[in-house]
């Protein structure tokens, strides 16, 4: 039972990160019907931006962990949100009427370019960076079960971001405009909504949330590296697909479900650390074969 509790806590922690990544995919698809395969690498850029802010704060003599953490999150979110908006403005929107395959290919190449830029031009970018432990390192022991304080704080922070996103989408004028554009672009334009601005804000929002996930991943594993976005992006996309691409709550459910599958694989399979991802992706493939629209398909209406 102690081991089971440990895996449960780890699953909740990972599920929070995956859900934040999946939310970006579903926001992009819901508003512009595009799949941005560079999303994982944008997350990686956000993680490196947060790491750079911590190093810069230390260089300036700011040694307080809370101040460094705030600087890391703010720098990562603002920088990555600007990057997401720039990608939307100069790459996605110009290709809006192009075949969808073009956008997939361009964003895939963009992800590779971002990854190589960090590897080649960031100081010693090809090697992993030790992300400082900015959260409390205390832990509570219950028999063989250990509950880390940093894990609890990270889960609550991630859930707070998810709740904040829910409030933004469902309780604000900006959220209403995003939902209107996602449902019917032409009618939204007719009602006076600035379509281009909403697209830029949505891409900035999804990218900023990905930056938070990247910083959380760095704090949890105490490491960032230039290839971290590959697996996280693939898992986030899989979570969005299994939950129902275009459905915000489906993406969140998919993130926690994927983490749960990893934990089940780690417990049930031999050589768990090697095969847990294989098990999780195999189950996702089976679910997609059974229910191609995802567990919570996007609701759509037909204009007559």
Average pLDDT over residues 133-148: 83
Round the average pLDDT of the chain to a whole number and report it. 91
pLDDT of residue 302: 42
Q: In this predicted model, what pLDDT tens digit does every residue of 21-31 receive, in sequence order?
A: 999 999 999 89
According to the model, what pLDDT value does residue 246 have?
83
Q: Give pLDDT tens digits for 237-286.
A: 999 999 988 888 999 999 999 999 998 888 777 665 667 888 899 999 99
184-224 pLDDT, tens digit each: 899 999 999 999 999 999 999 999 999 999 999 999 999 99
Q: Is the pLDDT of residue 137 over 60?
A: yes
CA distances from 237 to 9, 36, 128, 176, 185 (A): 23, 9, 24, 25, 24
32 compared with 178, residue with greater pLDDT: 178
pLDDT band for 289, please (50, 70, 90 cuts): confident
Q: Which two tokens stand for residue 17?
A: 């990160």
Of 29-38, 88-97, 140-149, 172-181, the least confident:
140-149
When mean pLDDT is compared across 59-63, 223-227, 283-287, the lowest value belongs to: 283-287
Spell out a b/e string for 77-111, using b for 16 or more CB atoms within 10 Å of the CB, else e.
bbbbbebbbebbeebbbeeeeeeeeebeebbeebb
Name the residue among 75, 17, 8, 15 with its Cα closest to residue 219.
17
pLDDT higher than threshold 90 for residue 170: yes
Q: What is the pLDDT of residue 270?
A: 63
Q: What structural domains does the chain harbor?
A: 2-125+148-290 (1.10.3470)
Residue whose C-alpha is closest to residue 236's, from 284, 180, 290, 291: 284
Q: What is the pLDDT of residue 33?
A: 87
Residue 291 or 17, more confident: 17
């Amino acid at each position: 039972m102690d081991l089971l509790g440990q895996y449960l806590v780890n699953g909740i922690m990972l599920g929070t990160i995956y859900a934040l990544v999946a939310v970006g995919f579903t926001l992009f698809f819901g508003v512009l019907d595009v799949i941005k395969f560079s999303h994982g690498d944008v997350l990686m850029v956000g993680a490196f931006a947060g790491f750079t802010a911590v190093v810069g704060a230390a260089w300036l003599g700011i040694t307080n962990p809370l101040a460094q953490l705030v600087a890391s999150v703010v720098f990562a979110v603002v920088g990555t949100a600007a990057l997401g908006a720039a990608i939307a403005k100069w790459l996605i929107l110009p290709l809006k009427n192009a075949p969808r395959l073009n956008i997939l290919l361009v964003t895939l190449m963009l992800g590779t370019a971002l990854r190589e830029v960090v590897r080649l031009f960031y100081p010693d970018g090809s090697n992993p960076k030790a992300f400082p432990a900015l959260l409390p390192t205390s832990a509570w022991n219950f028999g063989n079960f250990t509950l880390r304080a940093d894990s609890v704080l990270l889960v609550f922070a991630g859930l707070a971001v998810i709740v904040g996103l829910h409030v933004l989408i469902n309780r604000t004028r900006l959220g209403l405009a995003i939902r209107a554009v996602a449902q019917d672009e032409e009618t939204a334009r007719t009602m006076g909504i600035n379509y281009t601005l909403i697209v830029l804000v949505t891409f900035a929002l999804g990218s900023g949330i990905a930056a938070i996930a990247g910083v959380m991943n760095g704090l949890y594993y105490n490491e960032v590296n230039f290839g971290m976005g590959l697996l996280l992006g693939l898992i986030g996309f899989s979570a969005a697909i299994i939950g129902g691409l275009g459905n915000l709550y489906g993406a969140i459910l998919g993130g926690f479900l994927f983490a749960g599958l990893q934990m089940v694989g780690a417990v049930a399979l031999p050589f768990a650390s090697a095969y847990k991802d294989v098990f999780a992706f195999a189950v996702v493939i089976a679910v997609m074969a059974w229910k191609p629209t995802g567990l919570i398909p996007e609701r759509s209406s037909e204009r007559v």
